[in-house]
Structure 1
Amino acid sequence: MEIIILGSGSAYGTPYAGNFFGSADKNNDKNIRLRPSAYFKDGEDAFLIECGPDFRQQTCIHNINKIDNIFLSHGHADHIMGIWELTRFSKMMKAPINIFGNEATIKEVKERFSFMFKDGFKEMGDGGVILNIIKPYQDLKLPKTDLTIKTLNFIHKKQEILGFKYKNMVYTPDVAEIPEETKPYLENLDLWIFECDSFEDAKKGHNYLDQALKWINEFKPKRCILNHLNVTIDYNSVSKLLPSNTELAYDGMIVKI
């Protein structure tokens, strides 16, 4: 399996609008971050997690021209605002794209992109977007593939969001709390990719470095990649603080399992 980190940034990317880098060294390309997204490829099968505002740019950079299934962790802008781009993407594919999310996320997608789901909307040609409501702890066989994904429950800003387990790896998006029911699925993973939004606790419902290190020590993944990084995370300086099994994500990072 191969994973491409399409975007390793937080909700606002790095730098922020106005070319603000914060603590991140602007001369290090690994501190240039698009919004969070990852592309998973296993043989001929593939799926995407998150479809944020940089979706078009990310697919162009990495020459991704086929996506049958997209998972959304939750309905915040940095995770769903690329859905409009699927009008052209699915038209090019001449096939519909499945989007999976919990009830609140699918409701948000329908409200923000209501025009895409109205009768008479023809921008997608022979393509289209199919919305699918999924629940935590569900084993989901992906259409058009041989892949099965388990959905997990996490807490972000007091709301339930989804994480995703495939084989013995887990991708966890924005996360402030881990429910007890989820914890057994995180033990002894081959790979855990999860959020480390900031260097210190900003008390905004996101994860931060000290908490990330505690979870790594608690669940003991063989390999851990910290993602969803904001401008307080400088690649070189923070990398020096990490245990040997842990590294920071960067845009274009390729992970092979």
Structure 2
Amino acid sequence: METTLQSTHTDTTSLEITFLGTGTSSGVPMIGCHCAVCRSKDSKDKRLRSSILLRVQGKTIIIDTTPDFRQQMLRIENDRLDAVLFTHAHKDHIAGLDDIRAYNYFQKKPMHVFATKATQKELVREFYYAFSEFKYPGIPEILLHSIEAEPFDVEGITVTPIRVWHHKLEVVGFRIGDFTYITDANKIDQPQLELIKGSKVLVLNALRKEKHISHFTLSEALELIEKLQIPEAYLTHISHQMGLHETISGQLPNHVRLAYDGLVLRVPFKGDQAPKTATAF
């Protein structure tokens, strides 16, 4: 596939972000749909389910394992994975977890998985065989770690959790250095907004233009980016209802772009830059 637009950042010490998928739960094109977006020949209108891969200080971290996880890993030829971070337990964000088995096999160790207690409960229910007392050979090997309110360490990288609301469901966003990633949200309380402030790059969900019960609309996302004075922002978790990538891109402010599958950003990284914590989960 086409390689990618890169951020203007040029520092040699950087956090590299690869967008594995930028679509909503049904992906784009959507099964059975014949709208202009779903029939588009533009590769930027082909969106797998939303997830990103982070490379920093020699470590590789995934945020969410979508139903497309195997395809996403093969597409970018990723042969190393140190940890998985989960935003929440909806199927379009966890369904691919079984395929970490390949990394277990080649790396010969369990996978570190970070999630809230509520998300862990759903992972144990969904992938019960990986957590059973008597394990069948070849199943995923997982070490669960709990996300609380405090910043936490992932392979020597400080990650700050940011609590957001997906209608009435609590979802976790993540800040690493000057980069913040938030998906599946339509409300963020003020104490959590304080944790985002100062980010140089923000990735934020924007489902479509029309109002939605659990996702930011395009206008709501743009308003939040402006409120937080974010200098560089990318929109993700996009549905076919948003419109054609090329058309919508032409309607955005210069510092805001639609993300697309395969896009790579590089953000300068200075190590431990964790902001102060906010209200506990």
TM-score strictly above 0.5: yes
Counterpart position of 1:222 = 231
Residue 231, structure 1, aligned to residue 240, structure 2? yes
Amino acid paired to 2:65: C
> What is the aligned counterpart of 1:253 among 263, 274, 278?
263
Counterpart position of 1:200 = 210
Residue 134, structure 1, aligned to residue 143, structure 2? no
d(CA) in 1 for partners of 2:236, 2:156:
27
d(CA) in 2 for partners of 1:150, 1:49:
13
Dislocated runs of 4+, deviation >6 Å: none
Which structure 2 residue ranges, 5 or more long, are not aligned?
A: 1-14, 268-281
d(CA) in 2 for partners of 1:224, 1:200:
20
Structure 1 residue matching 2:67: 3-state secondary structure: coil
Q: Do 1:10 and 1:230's aligned partners in 2 also have CA atoms closer than 8 Å?
A: yes
CA distance 1:22–1:71, shift in 2 (3 Å) = farther
CA distance 1:21–1:77, shift in 2 (3 Å) = farther
Which structure 1 residue ranges, 5 or more long, are not aligned?
A: none
d(CA) in 2 for partners of 1:193, 1:25:
26
d(CA) in 1 for partners of 2:223, 2:151:
28
d(CA) in 2 for partners of 1:179, 1:21:
36
Within a 5 Å distance, the mapping from 1:156-175 to structure 2 comes to: 156-175=166-185
> What is the aligned counterpart of 1:36 among 39, 50, 62?
50
Q: Greater RCO between the two (CA within 8 Å, min separation 6)? A: 2
TM-score (norm 1): 0.93
Give CA-to-partner distance per residue, 1:131-175, whole Å, 9 cap, x none: 222123x21111xx2211011100002111100000011000110
Q: Do 1:88 and 1:124's aligned partners in 2 also have CA atoms closer than 8 Å?
A: no
Counterpart position of 1:189 = 199
Q: Do 2:29 and 2:37's aligned partners in 1 also have CA atoms closer than 8 Å?
A: no
> What is the aligned counterpart of 1:209 among 207, 214, 218?
218
Residue 235 of structure 1, CA deviation: 0.5
d(CA) in 1 for partners of 2:221, 2:38:
19
Amino acid paired to 2:163: N
Tell me whether 209-218 or 90-99 shows the greater mean CA deviation: 90-99
How many residue pairs align between the two structures? 252
d(CA) in 1 for partners of 2:90, 2:71:
19
Counterpart position of 2:132 = 118
TM-score (norm 2): 0.85
Q: Do 2:167 and 2:187's aligned partners in 1 also have CA atoms closer than 8 Å?
A: no
Amino acid paired to 2:106: M
Structure 1 residue matching 2:241: 3-state secondary structure: coil
Q: Do 1:68 and 1:96's aligned partners in 2 also have CA atoms closer than 8 Å?
A: no
Identity %: 25
Tell me whether 54-63 or 42-51 shows the greater mean CA deviation: 42-51
